[in-house]
Amino acid sequence: MATAVSLFSGCGGSDSGLHAAGHTVLMANDILSYARDFYKKNLPETDFRLGDVRSIDTFPAADILVGCYPCQGFSQGGARQANRAINYLYREFDRALRLIKPKAFIVENVSGMQRSDLSHLLKNQLTRFRLAGYKVNWKVLSAADYGVPQERRRLFLVGIRSDLGIKYEFPEPTHGEGRTNKGRTIKDAIGHLPLWPEGEYNKEEFHWYYLSRNRYRGWDELSKTVVARARHVNLHPVSPSLRRINTDKWEFIDDNPARRFSFRECALLQGFAHDCEFPDTAGMSEKYKVVGNAVPPPLFEAVAKNIPDIW
């Protein structure tokens, strides 16, 4: 189909989606060494360039440019500052866009980018990409609507080069009530795995902050959003459920054993392949981190597949 260059690639969620859509990723880039290790183990054909994107002077010619620049400054969780330097890495994506001049591009970020205090940054991205010569459309999508068993909303910007005379339209939801496919649940994704996979889940205590909110979902529900911090990963359904006892205070309903999702279970809840491999080149926290920061591959696949046949 098409060739692609991927920036801020992480462990390969976006690029796994591109592969599933029939495209070939020529080059990927990220600054995290374990993201590189996971990526190369599972997508070995891609030229992965480890390091700061600002140090990359040239890029391969490609039909598609994709990028998921870091979202800490936009995220609904944790500290949010509109003036953080990390919020301006989209300028590097814009630089690559003008150098490569692909037929299309896809950007993914957290839905918080549309908040009123950050909307100027979203508007600046749209302006830059349009001035670079692209017709751009954007929308917040729910991963659950595209077969991901998780509550996860993400903002996408998709552009098609203006000379091609086409405006991108986002795909219609495919999963859920009244749609072609039923929504996928936690059980659908991880019900086949061992209930207590020794060495694959974080055993830290459930501290007060962890119990300040309900982190439990049952087998037949969607998972809550998969997060990148090992201490904050949500509860596996084998655990007792939680009940609210006060404002921002929850407790287990009984004393039966409880645990967080494993890093492998988090990968499946994100939509990674069942046979994805985790190299033993980093500790458990890094494994959780790269998976939690990833784009759900089925969601990215759906967005990529809806680009018209302009190749």
Q: What was the pLDDT predicted at 69?
A: 86
CB-CB contact of 21 with 171 (8 Å):
no
Q: Which residues contact 41 (CB under 8 A, 6 or more apart)?
A: 277, 278, 279
Q: What was the pLDDT predicted at 87?
A: 64
Q: How many CB atoms lie within 10 A of CB 235?
A: 22
CB-CB contact of 220 with 249 (8 Å):
no
Find tokens 């060739």 and name the residue.
Answer: 3
Here the tokens at position 307 are 């680009």
Which residue type occupies 281? T
Find tokens 């801020």 and name the residue.
Answer: 8
Here the tokens at position 69 are 């620049």
Q: Which residues of the chain have pLDDT under 50?
A: 74-83
Exactly one of 11, 71, 266, 276 is catalytic; name it: 71
Find tokens 């007060």 and name the residue.
Answer: 208
pLDDT tens figures, 23-61:
999 999 999 999 999 999 999 999 999 999 999 999 999
Dihedral (Cα; 77, 83, 67, 132), 10-degree rounding: 150
Here the tokens at position 162 are 């203006």
Q: Does the annotation mark 71 as catalytic?
A: yes
Q: What was the pLDDT predicted at 82?
A: 45
- The per-type count for the chain, helices as H runs and strands as E runs, is 8, 9
Which structural domains are found in the chain, ordered by start?
3-177+295-305 (3.40.50.150)
Q: How many residues does the chain have?
A: 311
Q: What was the pLDDT predicted at 31?
A: 96
pLDDT tens figures, 81-112:
444 656 678 999 999 999 999 999 999 998 87
